[in-house]
Amino acid sequence: MVGLSLGEKQFIHGGIAQDLRTDGRKRLHYRPISIETGVIPQANGSARVRLGATDVIVSIKAELGKPSSLQPDKGKVAIFVDCSSTAAPMFELSGKWKMVLGRGGEELSSELSVALQRCLLGGKSGAGAGIDPSSLVIVEGKLCWDLYIDGLVVSSDGNLLDALGAAIKVALSNTGIPKVTVILGPSPNDQPDVDLSDEEFLQFDTTGVPVIVTLTKVGRHYIADATLEEESQMSSAMSVSLNRHGHICGLTKRGGAGLDPSVVLDMISVAQHVGEQLMSMLDSEIAAAEAAAVQEQ
Amino acid sequence: MLQSKSFAKKTKQGRVIKVVREHYLRDDIYCGATFCKVCDTSAARLSASASATILIVDTNVVLNQIDLLENPKIDDVVVLSVVLEEVRHKNLSVYNRVKALCTNPLRKFFVFSNEHHRDTYVKDMIGESPNDRNDRAIRVAARWYQIHLGESTQILLITNDRENKKRATEEGISAETVESYVKSLGKPDLLDLVVLSSSVDVPMEDVEDLRPSKKKIIYSEHKPMSEVTSGLLHGIYHQGKLRVNRYNPFEAYVGSESISEEIVICGRANMNRAFHGDIVAVELLPQDQWRDGKSLIIDDDDDDEEEVHLVPNSADDVPRFENPVQPTSGSSPPVSSHPPGRVVGIIKRNWHSYCGSLDPMPMPAGNAGVAHALFASKDRRIPKIRIQTRQLGNLLDKRIIVAVDSWDCLSRYPSGHYVLLIENDINSRPFSSQVLACLPPLPWSLSLEDLANSNREDLRHLRVFSVDPPGCRDIDDALHCKPLGNGNFEVGVHIADVTNFVLPGTPLDEEASQRGTSVYLVERRIDMLPKSLTEDICSLCSDVERLSFSVIWELTPDANIVSTRYTKSAIKSCAALSYVEAQARMDDSRLMDPLTTDLRNLNSLAKIMRLRRIKRGALTLASPEVKFQIDTETHDPLDIGMYQIREANQMIEEFMLAANISVAEKILKHFSLCSLLRRHPSPTKEMLEPLLRTAAAVGLDLDVSSSKALADSLDRAVGDDPYFNKLIRILATRCMTQAIYFSSGDLSPSEFSHYGLAAPIYTHFTSPIRRYADVIVHRLLAAALGISRLPPIFMDGPQLTSIADNLNYRHRNAQMASRASVELHTVIFFRNRPTDTEARILKIKSNGFIVFVPKFGIEGPVYLVAKDKGSSDWVVDEAHQKVTKAGTKITYGILQTVRIHMEVVEPQPNRPKLQLTLII
Amino acid sequence: MEYVDSLTGFRLDGRRPNDMRQIRGEIGVVAKADGSALFEMGNTKVIAAVYGPREVQNKGQQINNQALVRCEYSMANFSTGDRTRRPKGDRRSTEISLVIRQTMEACILVHLMPRSQIDIFVQVLQADGGTRSACINAATLALADAGIPMRDLVTSCSAGYLSSTPLLDLNYVEDSAGGPDVTVGILAKTDKVTLLQMDSKLPIDIFENVMQLAIEGCKAIAQYIREVLLENTKLLESRKGL
């Protein structure tokens, strides 16, 4: 992957204009998604999502912690993304995208983390978050679960944000947090003690968790689920995070070129449409995985 | 096939981790029945006949009925690995006993790894408690056995758990409770060993005066473990080991890291069923309940403050007095610095089996045979234990062993059951056949192979001889002294080469390691190694060739070491002398034969070495060892006297010390991190307090700044009284710490020193026949010389430390047994011989004083006031260590001579005591 | 703690002392890479991706008569029991990267590809003892998948000595016991040792036994890797229509 020749670039542009992409997809088609849950048994929940050649693994770990004083009735959720070096050489692309894709993947990692946080966790006040942190609290003001969501990009072929978003949703459905019984300390100021139950688990309700749809504008058309080559040709891209009801939970625009506001609205509505399909596909996959897990038991 | 087990764990810092472990299932695990046609029977243990009944025991049966299982009449038992794991977590000592049963080739106990067997693995079900899951695993395994071994064999699940039994029967497995199984065997003495579960109602009228209606909660409930841990974390409760005051069993101390002073626990209620040695959680009592910490009323029977016992005979053997508060003096003490508390929970039980006897009681009228008796342990720190037995008549007058089972808050006393007869945790059982199999066959003699070994020097031409107590048959040391051409002497110390026969890892070695040391009782010896080794093969008897390990010095006539060498050797002793004989030879100026010349040379060298040691500060404390002359027929003591120390004794001692020091230096040089050494910590100021106080009272100024200063002061402490010096030395002895073994990797070199011997480094090398520590040092020395490889156990620091600790423990027990034996014989001796004799006062107390009887070497209390009289007319003057009768001039001071009457009394049957009374 | 149960002879997880954990290898997991593999040893999961031979990125490092082999080892945040943020350049990662590089360099025929660069990236997804060995095994598979010419397959396995018994393939619990840990890497067919590391101390004769045990483990893994590669080749053949 050294770079694209002029001919290749024209081919990509032309194909998109004619609704026939290099791999034969239509503009708004997603590549086949394959999902695996429970790939990391040591974590409380994990999932691996393959979107064509893009491969991401998400693991969710829960640890005991103290809620922040600003929001004593909510637990804490933190999202980190790490671009593994196995996907690294892709980051040494030349051209204007060096800025975006960064050397060593550091910049990309932080950019992805921030984008995900914005889409899934809502604003600073915690309002409107896709994942509800109040379900994580154990003792108000003293004890709560800290959820650490770690994403690992194993192989990158474009559309990382979507893949990560989907993986997080699946991983959350797979997450089991042990139930705790609280033993209060003798004086009210003390940190209460907890007794862990090995048996029972708290499952997350993931129907409210949003998915992320990234639309990439190449030329005058938008495509969903761009591959790396297509991304290198984009003028701008927009990632919309949508929940089941079609509401927007977050929005990110990337890329240097400016967008007309009407174009933005148009992209959003397209994204909603695409998002519904993605959402239902993910839901069915999750259900299938759960059923398989129950059968194994 | 791989299963995955995952569970959530909470770390100490309070974080939660999910732990995932692999769990492999195998198909190569066999059932262990020798008659099974399907399985590989190479490791099978169960009996050969197919019609036998095979028992499968569940966890509670193993935990509670271990004594029953150890009885050889119970056999053909399958112990499942799930049961073993549970037992190991709940009670380590029971686990060790089960392990011993399973490895013993004579018993038919088989361990079946049901957790890893493909067909018997049981996966956790959601909502099932771990206990239920384990019970289910046991049932599945039982069923598998039934199917696997076919119809002819009967598989019996032994469980006392009603639920488990019911489910088992439902699933088609035969199940029985312990009692019904034992009853079916028809052996009544086995029934005694069966521990009855606490749910069975025990009629208490026989023993206590409580009617069931009067049963009230005597002790407060222990707090649940979670509360205890959180309390400890918050500093409300303190954790520590409970130490019961030997002199007042209703007072105990808990030393905890979380609080600087020791917490004192007064009274049974506050002790809340904790035993001496338990790890407990204590709560401090509120301020207003603090009383002064002086030990007060003892509301229970006998137990006077001190018994007649032997004077400790060397710094090495001084028993550590465990309670820091001495129950003395009538002068009002300051408000105690020991905060009082009470026990709220028991973290770890330290229940052993205890030796003692049953309280006398009338035989029960009923013919059911089951009687309830109260057992009183010899160790006064243990409360009385209630037991049930069918053999009351048999046990009443005897010394028995009882194990404790439980103590709930409704009963005043703990309940236990009767076991067997072992004393002082000393293994007096004969050596097992496995151990004896490790010995070379008799008659043994030196072989050509032994001589051909290049590591072994042939020293049979040397004039080697040994000097030992009369009648000694286990001779482990011999010496030789050869004048060299240059005026120097070659002196060699040859020690029996025990490690040539006791190889590491063999059953013989394991057994010796467990025993730790030989125990010397008055008329017999409990050996660490089998007799054939101790008295024949290893013993350096005269006129036979033996293998030895030698330390050979070149010494100048001034006893300075020019060179040292160490080697394995072969010797032939020419004479095995007794101390008396050796002394007589040296003293007889007419004798000029080579042997006597050697003795004299050694003696003069020894004298120089001894003087040098004393100059360096070695302590010579009085050692009035009491010796008995035993009537050979009745085994009663005929006479009792003090052991005489002669020059010959000191000569041998000197060279043994020198050998020990040389070997210590050598092994430390090669193995600085894993040498087994011996140290004697210097006594602290607090320990020397009583000595200084006493000395001051008689106007004596003792300098205790160093061992040398103390030694010099002791030398100067001479009065007109011939015994004065001896008495002061005896008092000094009591203040000393115990010498202990340790691993050199655990301490810094400055802490290696031996205070009493004034040696910077010391170890035990010269008595491998009777001490296991010496066996270890022999192995270290052999490795240092490159003769053999160091056994891997030395690589493991913690293991070596625990070996050292075990040796210290065994050593102490052996001493206690020895003393107990001597005390017993003392009592027997005086039983029919009431005697009047002189005694010296050693310590003043508020109601009397402690005296020392020089003629017999014993000490004991003399009471001025009868016990039940309230306040005394006697006043104690602490500063001058005198006690005076109020209003009179009658006074007794320390070190004063008094006349006493010694007589054996029996206030309780089977508990004879030697009583000393003052003759006014 | 008893690592080998004296009564049954089993280890904590039910293996016998010379049983290896369950191994699984898969090729072609990272589609974008030239060669990639996923290797599991028990609960230890490692992904290796190979990029190359390709043009040297940093011209200064180019070697004129042979290929430049680079290796980078990293552990995911969630790979261990407690989640720690792992800085990429920490000492342990650097050391293991170096070790893997040297081991693989010994077996790649580097003189066949002068002035080029071969990148081996190893990512640990789950660590449960024996990560070093799993990384080397995964790298071997990935290199084979990438079609890079090698002298021989390099396989690696670890062995230890606990409770006076040599144990093959230690897992995390056994590794943390503080006993000696010997990691051996060999060239399977030619029986040559390319990697030998040990920590803690062992007497020499016991060391020989332990090393021998590890070498046998390596041979077993080599056998398995051969099978995986064979399967993969057959699959490729069938896809091609042969």
State pLDDT tens for residues A270-286. Answer: 888 888 888 888 888 88
* Whether A196 and B20 lie within 8 Å, measured CB to CB: no
CB contact under 8 A, B8 and A186: no
Nearest to A59 among C78, C81, C122 (CB): C78
Residues of chain A neighbouring B7 (CB-CB closer than 8 A): 198
Rounded mean pLDDT of A114-142?
Answer: 70
- What gap in Å lies between CA B361 and CA B352, rounded to an integer? 25
Helix, strand, or coil (residue B695): helix
Chain A residues touching residue C82 (CB < 8 angstroms) = 63
Q: How many CB pairs below 8 Å do chains B and C form together?
A: 54
- Of the pLDDT bands very low, low, confident and very high (cuts 50, 70, 90), residue B106 is confident
Over range B864-893, report the average pLDDT. Answer: 69
Confidence of residue B872 (pLDDT cuts 50, 70, 90): low
pLDDT tens by residue, B4-60: 776 666 666 666 777 788 888 888 888 877 777 777 777 777 776 666 788 888 888
Residue B773 pLDDT level (bands cut at 50, 70, 90): very high
CA nearest to A105 within chain C: C88
pLDDT in tens, C5-23: 777 888 888 888 989 999 9
Nearest to C78 among A61, A89, A156 (CB): A61
Q: Test C123 with A40 for CB contact under 8 angstroms.
A: no
pLDDT at B423 over 70: no
| Shortest alpha-carbon distance between residue B113 and chain C (Å) | 7
Nearest CB to B2: which of C22, C81, C128? C22
Under the banding of pLDDT at 50, 70 and 90, the label for residue B97 is confident
Write out pLDDT tens, residues B248-264. 777 888 877 767 777 88
The domain covering A8-296 belongs, at the CATH homologous superfamily level, to GHMP Kinase, N-terminal domain (3.30.230.70)
A37-46, B491-500, B718-727: least confident range: B718-727
User: Which has the closest alpha carbon to B766: B756, B775, B753?
Assistant: B775
Query: Among partner residues A63, A185, A186, which is closest to B15 by beta-carbon distance?
Result: A63
Beta strand pairing status for A193-203 and A211-218? unpaired
Whether residue C78 and residue A55 make contact (CB cut-off 8 A), yes or no, is no
Average pLDDT, integer, range B167-182: 83
The minimum CA-CA distance between C8 and chain B, rounded to whole Å, is 7
Query: B185-199, B530-544, B789-803 — which one is most confidently predicted on average?
Result: B530-544
On the question of pLDDT at A125 being above 60, the answer is no
Give the pairing type, strands B53-57 and B16-24: unpaired
Better-scored residue on pLDDT, B595 or B727: B595
**Residues in C touching A40 (Cβ below 8 Å):** 45, 78, 125-126
More confident residue, B29 or B293: B29
Give A289's pLDDT tier (boundaries 50, 70, 90).
confident
| Confidence check: pLDDT of A10 > 80 | yes
Q: Give Dmax (Cα) for chain B.
A: 95
Give the best residue of C47, C51, C78, C128 to mutate against chain A (max A CB count within 10 A).
C78
Q: What is the pLDDT of residues B669-681, one digit of tens each?
A: 998 888 899 998 8
Chain-centre distance of CA B845, in angstroms? 31
> Which residues of A touch chain B, with CB atoms under 8 Å apart?
41-44, 61-64, 178, 183, 185-187, 190-191, 193-196, 198-200
Q: Are B265 and B252 in contact (CB under 8 A)?
A: yes
Does residue B303 register a pLDDT over 70? no
Q: Measure the CA–CA gap between B396 and B398, rounded to whole angstroms.
A: 6
Give the pLDDT of residue B429.
63
CA distance C120 to chain A (A): 8
Query: Would you call B120 helix, strand, or coil by DSSP?
Result: coil
Q: pLDDT band at residue A205, thresholds of 50, 70 and 90?
A: low
> Could you tell me which residues are beta bridge partners of residue B564?
B553
Average pLDDT over residues A110-131: 71
Question: What kind of fold does domain C23-240 have according to CATH?
Answer: Ribosomal Protein S5; domain 2 (3.30.230)
Closest CA to C218 of C238, C235, C193: C193
| Contact call for C15 and B20, based on CB within 8 A | no
pLDDT at B490: 93
Which among A46, A61, A87 is the nearest to C32, CB-wise?
A87
User: Is the pLDDT at B379 greater than 90, yes or no?
Assistant: no
Q: What local confidence, expressed as pLDDT, does residue B608 receive?
A: 93
Q: Looking up tokens 């060669």, which residue turns up?
A: C35
Handedness of CA C146, C147, C148, C150 (dihedral sign): positive
Asked if the Cβ–Cβ distance from B20 to A63 is below 8 Å, we say no
The region of weakest confidence among B481-485, B566-570, B837-841 is: B837-841
pLDDT exceeds 80 at position C29: yes
Residue B740 has pLDDT above 50, yes or no: yes
B334 close to B294: Cβ distance less than 8 angstroms: no
B18 with A185: Cβ contact below 8 A: no
Residue C166 has pLDDT above 70, yes or no: yes
Give the lowest-confidence range in A18-32, B35-49, C177-191. B35-49
Interface of chain B against chain A, CB under 8 Å? 4, 6-10, 14-16, 18-20, 126-128, 226-227, 229-231, 233-234, 236
Give per-residue pLDDT as tens, C41-75. 998 999 999 998 988 888 888 888 999 999 989 88
DSSP alpha helix (H) spans, B221-362: 225-234, 268-271
Confidence of residue B219 (pLDDT cuts 50, 70, 90): confident
Which of B115, B795, B796 would best serve as a mutation to test chain C binding (most C beta carbons within 10 A)? B795
Q: Which of B539-553, B635-649, B691-705 has the weakest average pLDDT?
A: B635-649
Delineate the domains of chain B, giving CATH numbers in brackets: 22-191 (3.40.50.1010), 214-418 (2.40.50.690), 438-502+526-678+745-818 (no CATH), 833-918 (2.40.50.140)
Q: Provide the shortest C-alpha distance from residue A85 to chain C (in Å).
A: 6
Q: What is the pLDDT of residue C87?
A: 62
Question: What residues of C are in contact with residue A41 (Cβ under 8 Å)?
Answer: 43, 126
Q: Which two tokens stand for residue B635?
A: 């085994």
Round the average pLDDT of chain A to a whole number and report it.
Answer: 79
The yes-or-no verdict on residue A190 having pLDDT over 60 is no
The model's confidence at residue B313, banded by pLDDT at 50, 70 and 90, is: very low
Rounded to a whole number, what is the distance in Å from the CA of B7 to chain A's nearest CA?
6
* pLDDT value at residue B195: 66
Among A44, A186, A195, select the one facing B226 at the smallest CB separation.
A195
B5 CA: distance to closest CA in chain C (Å) = 10
Specify which residues B710 forms β-bridges with: none
> What is the 8-class DSSP label of residue B536?
I
The pLDDT assigned to A88 comes to: 65
Q: Do A62 and B226 touch (CB under 8 A)?
A: no
Q: Mutation test of the interface with chain B: which of A143, A191, A193, A195, choosing the one with the most B Cβ atoms within 10 A?
A: A193
- Residue B217, CA atoms < 13 Å, CB-side half-sphere: 6
B20/A62 touch (CB, cutoff 8 Å), yes or no: no
The predicted pLDDT at position C198 comes to: 92
Instruction: Label residue B634 by pLDDT band (50, 70, 90).
Output: low
Contact flag B113-C14 (C-beta cutoff 8 Å): yes
Q: Please tell me the predicted confidence (pLDDT) of residue A92.
A: 45
Confidence of residue B319 (pLDDT cuts 50, 70, 90): very low
Phi/psi for B129 (5° steps) reads: -75, 160
Answer whether residue B232 shows pLDDT above 60: yes
B588 three-state secondary structure: coil
Report the alpha-carbon angle B378-B380-B381, nearest 5.
125
C59 inside 8 A of chain A by CB: no
CA distance A171 to chain B (A): 16
Highest-confidence segment of B70-79, B95-104, B773-782: B773-782
pLDDT on residue A137: 74
pLDDT for residue B367 = 47
Q: What is the DSSP string of B745-802?
A: TTS-GGGG-BTTTTBSS----S-TTTBHHHHHHHHHHHHHTTSSPPPGGGG-HHHHHH
- Chain C segment 132-161 residues within 8 A of A by beta carbon are none
- Chain B residues with CB inside 8 Å of C203's CB? 789-790, 792, 795
Helix, strand, or coil here: B913? Answer: strand
Instruction: Quote the pLDDT of residue B520.
Output: 80
> What is the sign of the dihedral through the CA atoms of B655, B659, B664 and B666?
positive
| Degrees to nearest 5, angle at CA B6 with B4 and B7 | 165
* Residue bearing the bigger pLDDT, B411 or C219: C219
Between chains, do A157 and C57 touch, taking CB under 8 Å as contact?
A: no
Q: Do C48 and A52 touch (CB under 8 A)?
A: no
**CA of B24 to nearest chain C CA: how many angstroms apart?**
5
- Domain residue spans of chain A: 8-296
CA distance A109 to chain B (A): 26
- Percent of chain B scored above 70 by pLDDT? 81
Asked if the Cβ–Cβ distance from A85 to C123 is below 8 Å, we say yes
Least reliable range by pLDDT among A53-67, A117-131, B265-279, B306-320 = B306-320
Average pLDDT over residues B561-571: 93
Q: What is the pLDDT of residue C59?
A: 84
Widest Cα–Cα separation across chain A: 75
Average pLDDT score over residue span B871-880: 68
Contact between C6 and B116 using a beta-carbon 8 Å cutoff = no
Judged by average pLDDT, the poorest of B698-707, B877-886, C174-183 is B877-886
Residue B719: pLDDT band (50, 70, 90) is: confident
At residue B133, the 3 state secondary structure works out as helix
**Residue of B432 and C174 predicted with greater confidence:** C174
Residue in chain A lying closest to C42 (CA): A41
Cis ω for the linkage preceding A178 (within 30 of 0): no
Query: In this model, does residue B722 exceed pLDDT 80?
Result: no
Share of chain C above pLDDT 90, in %: 58
Close Cβ partners of B161 (under 8 Å, ≥ 6 residues apart): B58, B60, B135
Q: How much of chain B, in percent, has pLDDT values that exceed 90?
A: 12
State the pLDDT confidence band at C96, using cuts at 50, 70 and 90: very high
CB contact under 8 A, A154 and C78: no
For chain C, give the mean pLDDT.
Answer: 89
Mean pLDDT is highest, among A129-133, B487-491, C83-87, for B487-491
CB-nearest partner of B23 from C8, C13, C82: C13
